Chains A and B, each alone.
Chain A
Amino acid sequence: MYRIVKKEEITPNIKMFQVHAPAVAHKAKPGQFVIVRASEAGERIPITIADTDTRAGTVTIYFAEVGKSSTMLGGLEEGENIMNFAGPLGNATEIKKYGKVLCVGGGVFVGALLYMMRALKEAGNEIVAVFGYRNKDHVLLKNELKEVADEAYVCTDDGSYGLKGMNVVDELLEKHGFDHVFAIGPTSLQMNLSEKTRPYGIPTRVNLFPVMVDGMGMCGACRVTVGGDTRFSCVDGPEFDGHQVDFEELIMRMRVYNPQEKIAMVVHGREVA
């Protein structure tokens, strides 16, 4: 059992947990993820690690309540226990001095991107960052973004906060000569970004989160085509070369369980009522 040391409700459906898991905290690196299971009936949910505190023995995660399992997880309170918290899984981001780096994040994933940005900054990189959100109610970690990045932009899809849309990325790519691009965010964002950087030939690393079950290389649910080869996101990734990923296939594979997700939520809603 893993105790929730701290809980914050960032937005009505985005939660932050600091979870007591000293061994994981000791080992975790940016880019890696944990598999979390809230209760006996819960799914194994992969969540990208957003920070660690080795002294307190905690791991920080941000997650959106998008289905029944994540809603149940979000319903746990500070001081309560999470049943399972396995990690760190997947490969860590290669942190080194690249030079000038563009970091693009979206939604709930900006926490994980910030964790990566801090490490990149420590390695001596100059960081330009763009964080995108749905609207002003979904904006999170904007102050931390400005602290870490040398140049920071906040955008919303509807323009209710910061810039409208993410066109600033095009301008930045035009203006700066980036040495490397990192992205963590919704798959469509990672796909669009990879298309934007392709003509510039800038190495672009994306951090994928396909459907996973065990997260340890056993099931192959997370298989993704990269450069024509089938790879497992959990053990070969989750970070890949964005210019090599077959995003169209990935997006189709991620939609498979949408109907079941709806059924589970309806049944769950009835039970709660």
Chain B
Amino acid sequence: MATDAFNKPEVDMPKQTPEERIRNFFEVAKGYTSEMAVEEAERCLQCKNPQCRKGCPVDIDIPAFIKLIKEGKFVEAAWKIKETNVLPAICGRVCPQENQCQKFCILGIRGDPISIGRLERYAADYERNHGVDIPEISPDTGHKVAVVGAGPAGLTVAAELGKKGHHVEVFEALHVAGGVLMYGIPEFRLPKAIVQAEVQYIEKLGVDIHLDSMVGKLYTVQELFNDGFKAIFIGSGAGLPNFLRLSGENLSGIYSANEFLIRTNLMKAYRFPEYDTPLNIGKSVAVIGGGNVAMDSARCALRLGAEKAYIIYRRGMSELPARHEEVENAEEEGVIFTLLNNPTRFIGDGRGNVKEVELVRMELGEPDDSGRRRPQAVPGSEWKLPVDTVVVAIGQSPNPIIQQTTKGLEVTRHGTIITDEATAATKLEGVYAGGDVATGAATVISAMGAGKTAAASIHEYLNGK
């Protein structure tokens, strides 16, 4: 039996072909059918001491939900996941499973690990398509909690505390809830209707969401306390784009990845002129960076009509920080990987538009603090790549506005809010923080993990009141 499981490969998930999908923004991966889900679930060894759970930042009872799928109890499987994860349809799509749960799966030692993410997605999609029930909500505690930012961390805190009977109000600066799930991750990787379905589910738990409400500008943290909120969670994310600080970087046609993705995803520039927000794409697009955001940008560029989309990364293929599946998708779609190259300056056309990016070849030297081999420029190896558009995807920092307007909040030199990792508590009583604003740019699931931690601490704190 065990031998069979080790020999049987994972069940592939159907995808749009690369030729088809680079012409649309529909989801690339189509998801399992029920037969595929059951077949994949049957491979699970149901370990007594499941290693996979160790890799899950929100501690989903993975073998239990997989067993329910195997038995055809799909709604029950979704409920099992939702005991610890309020956004399963999202995590099933965007979690880096290969570095988390699936990395520890015993089957992975000699074959393919169980496709936990695909099964999670299947269960969540099944439940959503068959009508979502609202879990039992504890009696009203009379406590008001404010959540700043409706991204993965904030939504998790809101859902957890809403279920426990606290009155939660979420303050979101943008015109829609979801944070990076809406403005950052493209439609073809995470359909926005799914994000909004999850947001509606959270609203059904009694959570109020205020849009267009930038805390730090419209209300300060102190004013929220004055208004009767007993605890505040800050999950304002890492919204401030980093630039390279190279000559010519303010030429037109050079975008931060944030701007490029906000225009594309949040403002739906791919539907211009039906939607009003435009995006100049041109024929040749260079994306600087090697993370998920860079892959998303390059893949959006192709879909927006670019003939060539380059990934410019200073290290090699095996050092790319992006999720494996996204690199593979990008390669299939024809993204050109220009690795071991680093930009040195941008050259304009004399009318204020970028025309070329100058690159220098790199080689890998000794390992640095992060354990990765340090890239070094090869002297005299500069060359020029003609471009119409450049997307700078080298990371984001926390938006500083809340930190600047909240007295007593301690902040690192990177602008992240200092918290106690075990409780998510900041140095200010009643104020908690988590997600990218505390860790710097990371993943959806780690933000949700921090949200769970914060929700537990806030619940305990309020009970002591």
Tell me the A residues contacting B by CB distance below 8 Å: 23-24, 27, 35, 37, 41-44, 67-69, 72, 83-89, 213-214, 216-221, 223-225, 230, 235, 249, 252-253, 255-257, 260-261, 263-264, 267-268
Contacts and interface: CB of A to CB of B under 8 A. Distances in A.
A44 B175 contact: yes
5 contacts: A23-B213, A27-B219, A84-B212, A86-B175, A223-B250
Interface string B26-60: 00000000000000000000000000000000000
B401 A217 contact: yes
Nearest to A38: B276
A224 B243 CA distance: 13
Bin chain B's interface residue count: 35 or more
Given A27-B217, A214-B174, A253-B352, A220 B241 contact: yes
A225 B250 contact: yes
Given A88-B217, A230-B250, A220 B399 contact: no
Contact of A27 (B218, B241, B268): B218
B257 to A, nearest CB: 10
Interface in B293-350: none
A85 B212 contact: yes
B160 interface: no
Given A87-B218, A213-B263, A252-B351, A218 B239 contact: yes
B249 A230 contact: yes
B352 A264 contact: no
Contacts of B352: 249, 252-253, 255
B267 A213 contact: yes
Interface string B216-236: 011100000000000000000
Nearest to B396: A218
B273 A217 contact: no
B194 to A, nearest CB: 18
A24 B256 contact: no
A23 B399 contact: no
Nearest to B214: A216
B241 A219 contact: yes
A241 B151 CA distance: 36
Nearest to A86: B212
A87 B183 CA distance: 19
B278 interface: yes
Contact of B276 (A68, A214, A217, A224): A68
Nearest to B392: A220
Nearest to B216: A216
A41 B270 CA distance: 12
4 closest Cβ pairs, A-B complex: A252-B352, A260-B278, A219-B259, A86-B212
B240 interface: yes
A61 to B, nearest CB: 15
Interface in B374-425: 399-401
Contacts of B274: 41
A216 B239 contact: yes
Contacts of A224: 250
A96 B254 CA distance: 39
B265 to A, nearest CB: 12
B451 to A, nearest CB: 21
Contact of A235 (B249, B253, B401): B401
Contacts of A43: 267, 276-277
Contacts of A218: 183, 239-241, 258-259, 262, 399
Contacts of B218: 23-24, 27, 86-88
Given A225-B250, A260-B278, A213 B173 contact: no
B457 interface: no
B7 interface: no
B252 interface: yes
Contacts of B461: none
A214 B219 contact: no
Contacts of B462: none
Contacts of A221: 255, 259
A24 B255 CA distance: 30
B261 to A, nearest CB: 9
Contacts of A68: 273, 276
A64 to B, nearest CB: 16
Contacts of B278: 257, 260-261, 263-264
Nearest to B259: A219
A256 B349 CA distance: 14
A235 B400 CA distance: 9
A27 B399 CA distance: 20
Given A86-B175, A88-B218, A252-B252, A217 B239 contact: yes
A84 B211 contact: yes
A264 B213 contact: no
Contacts of A214: 173-174, 183, 239, 262
Contacts of A35: 212
B276 A267 contact: no
Interface in B271-287: 272-278, 280
B172 to A, nearest CB: 10
B280 A256 contact: yes
A219 B258 contact: yes
B458 to A, nearest CB: 24
Contacts of B243: 220, 223, 230
Given A216-B399, A230-B243, A84 B175 contact: yes
A39 B145 CA distance: 31
A267 B276 CA distance: 11
Given A23-B219, A221-B255, A257-B278, 11 more contacts: A27-B219, A41-B274, A42-B276, A72-B276, A214-B173, A216-B174, A216-B399, A230-B250, A255-B252, A263-B278, A264-B278
Contacts of B211: 84, 86
Contacts of B213: 23, 86
Contact of B175 (A83, A219, A225): A83
A44 B250 CA distance: 21
A68 B401 CA distance: 31
A41 B252 contact: no
A255 B218 CA distance: 31
A225 B352 CA distance: 14
Contacts of A88: 217-218
